[in-house]
Amino acid sequence: MTVESKLRELLMPVLGLTSVDEIQPDHALVNDLGAESIDFVEILYAIETNFGVKISVQEISMTDYGAQAAEDGVLTAELAKQLNADFNTDRFQPGQTARELFETFTVRELGIVIQRKMNEH
């Protein structure tokens, strides 16, 4: 079972869903699946328990990339390019806010963070 598949199964009860098919890799945890702040406490606990890695909210909200690449609380072109490369996507654009990044953080991207953490161990 892939990290992403297992993650989708773990998210079902936390988000009150009845089928793993309701959680697609490109779904945003907040915008598409309705995750709220209390859900993230449960999600991070489930990740630590089931994958053996600790993920911080900063990693999900992308604030761990550092303020040096952000100006006035928005993504610079440099940071957008780095995020797109790191997450193998093209969805990050200059001008996006930290809030927008958090609200659009996808199941797939969380799986990538988990996999990277697992590879560090």
Domain count, the chain: 1
pLDDT value for 26? 95
In this predicted model, what pLDDT tens digit does every residue of 8-44 receive, in sequence order?
Answer: 999 999 999 999 999 999 999 999 999 998 999 999 9
pLDDT value for 73? 72
Q: Which structural domain, as residue segments, surrounds residue 61?
A: 3-120
pLDDT value for 49? 96
- CATH number for the domain spanning 109: value is 1.10.1200.10
Burial of 1 from C-beta contacts in 10 A (0-12 / 13-18 / 19+)? exposed
* DSSP assignment letter at 74: E
Mean pLDDT (the chain) is: 88
Choice between 70 and 92, residue whose per-residue pLDDT is larger: 92
Rounded CA-CA distance 117/65 in Å is 15
| Residue 63 reports pLDDT greater than 70 | no
pLDDT value for 18? 95
Q: What are phi and psi of 71, to 5 degrees?
A: -125, 130
pLDDT value for 70? 54
Cβ-proximal residues to 12 (8 Å cutoff; 6+ apart), any chain: 18, 19, 20, 22, 23
**Token pair in block for residue 103:** 């609200």
| Residue 90 reports pLDDT greater than 80 | yes
pLDDT value for 71? 54
